[in-house]
Amino acid sequence: MIGWALRQLVIWGGVAVLFYVFVGDRLSHLVTPAAPVASESTAGQARRVPDRQTPNSLVYRPNRQGHVLLDAAVNGSPVQFLVDTGATLVALTPSDAASAGFSRGDLVFNVRTATANGIGRAAAVKLREIRLGQFSAYDVPAVVMENLGTSLLGQSFLTRLDSYQMRDGLLTLNWN
């Protein structure tokens, strides 16, 4: 009986840690009120704010749900990303991966992933280029995840920047 209780404690503790890692950062943005916007963003996408003080900088305002969605190009194809600072890698939906040149037959789904939605399968890939505004990152490690609704812009891209920060309801990306 004690063994069963300890096992349940470890399992549910692990679930709580995974929930905190994958969802906790996103939920914290819901508490921070966004600065007023002159016009509402379209289709729930984050509104890009011009930053004339720093030439190599992009600033984004979260959408109403507190998420930063932005448009980038992967291997030359447009992809809409949800910025996820808690994700280790960039993660593409199967359709975004196909647009970027990865055919379903070339993908080997042998990577197991633990997310807030449970255990999933993913295929490891290397992206030739992710372009965001005037910034490009090359040879970016990524995964293609089954059953992913929106592609995630994770740390394998974000660490290529000189810095990024969420402050006063704005996400700022900086590079040299």
Q: What is the pLDDT of residues 141-156, one digit of tens each?
A: 999 999 899 999 999 9
Q: How far is CA 116 from CA 18, 20, 81, 108, 149, in A?
A: 6, 9, 18, 23, 13
Residue 5 has pLDDT above 70, yes or no: no
All residues at 6 or more sequence positions from 170 whose CB lies less than 8 Å from its CB, including other chains = 34, 35, 49, 59, 60, 61
- Give the chain's radius of gyration (CA, Å): 18
Q: Is the pTM of this model over 0.85?
A: no
Neighbouring-strand partners of residue 140? 127
Lowest mean pLDDT among 2-11, 21-30, 32-41, 54-63: 32-41
Q: What pLDDT band is residue 113 in, cutting at 50, 70 and 90? A: confident
Tokens of 34: 């966004």
The pLDDT score that the predictor gives to residue 17 is 52
Neighbours of 135 (CB within 10 A): 19
Q: Which tens digit of pLDDT belongs to each residue from 63-110?
A: 999 999 999 999 999 999 999 999 999 999 999 999 999 999 999 999
Backbone φ and ψ for 92, nearest 5 degrees, come out as: -105, 145
Q: Could you please state the CATH topology (level 3) that the domain comprising 2-174 is classified under.
A: Cathepsin D, subunit A; domain 1 (2.40.70)
**132 vs 35, which has greater pLDDT?**
132
* Average pLDDT estimate for 117-142: 94
Q: Which tens digit of pLDDT belongs to each residue from 23-49?
A: 444 433 333 333 333 333 334 445 455
**Sequence ranges of the domains in the chain:** 2-174
**67 vs 4, which has greater pLDDT?**
67
The pLDDT score that the predictor gives to residue 121 is 93
The pLDDT score that the predictor gives to residue 13 is 62
Residue 51 has pLDDT above 60, yes or no: no
